[in-house]
Amino acid sequence: MQKSYRAPNPGDNRQWFIVDAAGKPLGRLAVLIANKLRAKDLPTFDPSVDAGAFVIVVNAAKVKLTGKKEEQKEYQRYSGYRGGRKTFSAAEMRARHPDRMISEAVWGMLPKNNIARKMMTRLKVFAGAEHTHAAQKPVEIKL
């Protein structure tokens, strides 16, 4: 009888990757990041094991939106009170919080469970070209 293999949790031995978002389409970038966070690119992928890597995204303010999404795409925020829903366009989101555009796109591509919440803590998004994780020696990913 064959035994099934279960990938171990890597713990502190996770890989670090860096992605430059300048000029890359938001959706394609989010798919790449979500797959790295979930470890779907590894042959030992198991949806119930959190074996993903850390992902650093730089130049988040320069991510590309195709078509008329800059004006037509809407983001929402809700305060919890009656009449507390606020909507704003992608152009406003880019001006205020460019890092949230990428993190919300990645969050939409992850399963909604406790493992995904842990995965999101391993996503580090920076609006500019500078980041604070040079000591981890991240490997660059090309899109």
Query: Residue 37: which pLDDT band, with cuts at 50, 70 and 90?
Result: very high
101, 123 Cβ separation under 8 angstroms? no
> What is the pLDDT at residue 5?
80
> Does the 16-65+97-141 domain belong in CATH 3.40.50.150?
no
For residue range 49-71, list pLDDT tens digits in order. Answer: 999 999 999 999 999 999 999 99
Give the HSE-up count for residue 140: Cα atoms under 13 Å, Cβ half-sphere: 4
Domain boundaries of the chain, sorted by first residue: 16-65+97-141
- Residue 141: its pLDDT value, please? 93
70-123 tens-digit pLDDT: 999 999 999 999 999 999 999 999 999 999 999 999 999 999 999 999 999 999
As to burial, measured by CB atoms within 10 angstroms (0-12 exposed, 13-18 middle, 19+ buried), residue 123 is buried
